[in-house]
Amino acid sequence: MNSRLNIQPPSTNLQPPKLMKILITGTAGFIGFHLAKRLLERGDEVVGIDNINDYYDVNLKYARLAETGISREAEKWHTPVQSTKYPGYTFVRMNLEDRDPLTALFEKEKFDNVCNLAAQAGVRYSLENPYAYIDSNIVGFVNILEACRHHNIRHLVYASSSSVYGNNTKMPLSTSDNVDHPISLYAATKKSNELMAYTYSHLYGIPTTGLRFFTVYGPWGRPDMALFLFTKAIINDEPVKIFNYGNMSRDFTYIDDIIEGVVRVIDKPPLTSAHTKPDPSSSNIAPYKIYNIGNSNPVKLMDYIEGIENALGKKAKKEFLPMQPGDVPNTYADVSDLVRDIGYKPPTKVEDGIKKFIKWYKEFYGVKI
């Protein structure tokens, strides 16, 4: 333990003030699935919602749900499905844009806290289908905010993204940095979520915390993300598409580290800040906070690919391409606020995380090399 940084042991060994009833949106998704499992295993009651859209393979989404005891009955809209594995888990297929069913769910369940992870993901896809991002990430989020406002929610935690930093070149990227110049619609919707949350914290006193995730990877991950794409291409003897000719780095953050940070944040709603100096990440007049959650150890893209090659025992065929619109060359998280306030810094080394993902991928897809 590093006492200087006040980094605490995993919160599995810590008791929250009380077990809670939590709404998690996006529980058929990568992060939402892992968060639901974690909170259920510590004894919280969880209601999960997801629209199970076809942005990527829905079979993977149903497999995640099955892992938490939710049957294929989940494909029925607005129909609660009880988990066969966790007595405290109920799933409902629902769009965040469906205001009336969402409001009815809040009225029925009387949640303590809400963790909003549902969103239309993907920087590149936002260039092709912008309306999906407005519907889910803007309209859906204001519906969540309104439901929290009218149902006495103690703490709203929501997913933002490192993409809000755009082409900022000062590294590491800090929550005190200006983020007024997003370079994709996806990033613009995430920045909008932070502004909308601040407004509701200021007007209605709702404690809100936004989490800027940095390149999350690991078992059960998204097929449109680099690790999944690279692994699949190498196994199938297809070329790995390497953008910006490989001159990129990412702050890859292992899924278990993300979940540890989210759980700790859920358990610690923000208070109004004591500071008087303006800071984009907090406010002295509203219970509002923004944190980065990243490994804080950027890895060069070519080194990342080498790590995948080593874990697979197989070399990649490489296709070097120019930078894609909306993408950024580098990310690097400053997590000093997370360490100071929450006592946590993501610890997993990227080579260890890659090995765990490869092990899962081989087992899940029945791959032999």
Residues annotated as catalytic (active site), given as ranges:
186
DSSP 175-209: TTS-----SSHHHHHHHHHHHHHHHHHHHH---EE
CA dihedral 361, 116, 346, 277 (to 10 degrees): 150
DSSP 218-263: STT--TTSHHHHHHHHHHTT-EEEEGGGG--EE--EEHHHHHHHHH
Cβ-in-10-Å burial (0-12, 13-18, 19+) of 128 comes to exposed
CA dihedral 63, 69, 72, 75 (to 10 degrees): -90
Q: Cα(357)–Cα(343) distance, rounded to whole angstroms?
A: 27
